């Protein structure tokens, strides 16, 4: 499965933007939240068919320095002031299997669009991030490089408007804003190029996908506290992205999928400590 449709959509809210909306953390000590929910998203990046998947939601943090989650990866705030955060980050982009298998999917049929294109192995991406607060706005940039798998570089950038509403009592946390994604040649080559051998096996025309602008879009997240102590909360996410450049022109997208990519999800989370 390409949980990239999970990690780039459950996040992609993807990466540099609204998925960063998080409940306030304690200044010191460890915190752990567990949960699960459903995500309705394309079965692979570029597909026009959607599937509902049931996914875990795990978040671990140590104060306001260390964080680890499915959404945000694993990172550490080396520089951590009220208006600026800089540090290293690592993420995992799970494999895309040509047989279309998705172990967490609960609806929809397994896609046959990828047959003949080969598997793309699970990739560990390492890099760094910068986040800067300007009033209610947060500008964020992540730059990562795959050390295996696609072996390409990825840049996620976004501008998020966030805040809290006390209209119904307990604070409702919200964040939304635009984002873009830029990738290198190796990234697009792994997922969207079609070699002569793959062309014969898949029926798609030969295509050499170069790097550049990958996508641009908009996403949002809202966190609703369910209990007064904020231990149980609900998270709603949604977003839309338009595939661009060589990705949007790729035969896999033009002939079997769509440049328009959307996702919605609902998750419950319980804070153990």
Query: According to the CATH classification, is domain 4-271 in 2.40.160.40?
Result: yes
Label residue 27 by pLDDT band (50, 70, 90): low
Strands (E) across the chain are located at 30-42, 50-62, 66-69, 73-76, 79-80, 84-93, 123-134, 137-146, 153-165, 172-183, 212-225, 232-243, 260-271
CA distance 221 to 13: 8
What would the pLDDT profile of 70-110 be if each residue is shown by its tens digit?
Answer: 778 999 999 999 999 999 999 999 899 999 998 889 998 89
Per the listing, tokens 């550490």 go with 76
Tell me how far apart the alpha carbons of residues 263 and 265 are, in angstroms, rounded to a whole number. 7
| pLDDT band at residue 19 under the 50/70/90 scheme | very low
Please give the average per-residue pLDDT across 212-235, as a whole number.
Answer: 94
Mean pLDDT of 260-268: 97
Angle CA 265–104–111, to nearest 5: 95
- Cβ(89)–Cβ(156) below 8 Å: no
* 43 close to 102: Cβ distance less than 8 angstroms: yes
- The pTM is what? 0.88
Q: Comparing C-alpha atoms, which of 189, 262, 266, 187 is closest to residue 224? A: 266
Q: Are 4 and 150 in contact (CB under 8 A)?
A: no
């Amino acid at each position: 499965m390409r949980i990239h449709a999970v990690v780039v959509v459950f996040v992609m809210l993807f990466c540099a933007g609204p998925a960063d909306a998080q409940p306030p953390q304690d200044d010191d000590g460890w915190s752990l939240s567990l949960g699960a929910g459903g995500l309705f998203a394309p079965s692979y990046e570029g597909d026009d068919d959607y599937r509902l998947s049931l996914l875990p939601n795990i978040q671990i943090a140590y104060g306001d320095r260390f964080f680890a989650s499915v959404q945000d990866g694993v990172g550490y705030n080396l520089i951590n002031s009220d208006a600026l955060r800089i540090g290293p980050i690592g993420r995992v982009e799970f494999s895309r299997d040509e047989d279309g298998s998705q172990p967490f999917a609960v609806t929809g049929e397994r896609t046959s669009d990828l047959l003949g294109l080969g598997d793309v192995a699970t990739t560990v991406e390492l890099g760094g991030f910068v986040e800067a607060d300007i009033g209610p706005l947060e500008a964020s940039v992540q730059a990562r490089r795959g050390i295996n798998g696609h072996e390409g570089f990825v840049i996620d950038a976004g501008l998020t408007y966030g805040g809290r509403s006390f209209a119904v009592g307990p604070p409702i946390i919200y964040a939304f804003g635009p984002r873009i994604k830029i990738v290198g040649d190796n990234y697009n080559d792994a997922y969207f190029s079609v070699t002569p051998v793959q062309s014969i096996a898949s029926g798609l025309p030969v295509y050499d996908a170069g790097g550049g602008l990958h996508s641009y879009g908009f996403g949002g997240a809202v966190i609703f506290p369910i209990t007064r102590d904020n231990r149980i909360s609900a998270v709603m996410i949604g977003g839309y992205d338009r595939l661009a450049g060589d990705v949007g022109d790729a035969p896999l997208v033009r002939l079997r999928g769509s440049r328009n990519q959307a996702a919605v999800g609902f998750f419950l989370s319980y804070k153990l400590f």
